[in-house]
Amino acid sequence: MGSKERIQRSKENTRSNILTAALKIVRQDGWQALNMRKIAEEIDYTAPVIYDYFSSKETLVAELSATGYLLLSAKIREAKDAQPTPVRQLEAMWLAYWKFAFAEKELYQAMFGVEVNCSTMREGLSKAEEVSALFTGVIRQLMKKAEPTEDMVCTKYFTFWSVVHGLISINLVHKGSSDEINQTVLHEAITGIITSMTP
C-alpha cells in the first residue's frame, strides 16, 4: 500500500471514529450534550482536528442523518423482499420503519429533527426520497387497477407516513401509550389505509 492510500485510509478511519464518538455521546447523554469539544475528548484529539472533517455540528449531524437513511432504506428493502404480495409488503415495510425508529432512535431523531436542535431535515431530503420511492413503488403496484395519478400515490404515502411518524414522535418525545396500544393503533392504521386503496 502506497503512502497516498495510507493517508486516505487514515482520514477515513478518523472520520468514522468522529461519527462513532458523536453517536456514542448522543446515546449516553442526548443530543443537547453533543459538541465538538466532547467528541474530541472522546477520541483523544483536539477540537480543531474535528473541524478539519466537519465544519460544524450541523454538518456532522447531517452525516449521521445520511447514515440513518441508508440503514432505513436497507431495512425497508429487506422487509419488502421477504413478502410475496404488495399488501404484505406494505405491512412489513411500515413495521420495519417502526422498528428502525426505536432501534436507532438517535439516528431517527437526526433524520427528522425530533428533539434535535440543529435539525438537518432539509439536507436529508434527497436521502428521504429513496425511502419514499420504496413505499410509493409498492403503493402504485397495489393501486394499479385504479390507474392512480402521482398525486393519488403521494397522498396515500403521506397518509401512511403521517400516522406512523406521528405515533413514533409521540413515543420518542415522551412515552406515549403502552406498547400494546401502540401496536394496535399502528396495525389498525396500516390495515385501514391499505383497505382504502384496494377495491
Radius of gyration, alpha carbons of the chain: 20
Asked whether residue 73 falls in the same domain as residue 167, the answer is yes
The H or E element that residue 12 is part of is helix 3-29
Asked whether residue 86 falls in the same domain as residue 171, the answer is yes
- pLDDT of the residue at 10: 86
pLDDT confidence tier of residue 114, bands split at 50, 70 and 90: low
CATH number, residue 10: 1.10.10.60
pLDDT confidence tier of residue 172, bands split at 50, 70 and 90: confident
Which has the closest alpha carbon to 42: 13, 19, 11, 67?
19
Look over the chain and give the mean of its residue pLDDT values, rounded to a whole number.
88
The string of DSSP codes covering 15-54 is: HHHHHHHHHHHHHHH-GGG--HHHHHHHHT--HHHHHHH-
For the segment 14-26, the average pLDDT, to the nearest whole number, is 95
In terms of residue numbers, what domain contains 83? Answer: 57-197
Mind listing the pLDDT tens digit for each residue in 58-91?
A: 899 989 998 999 999 999 999 999 999 999 999 9
Domain count, the chain: 2
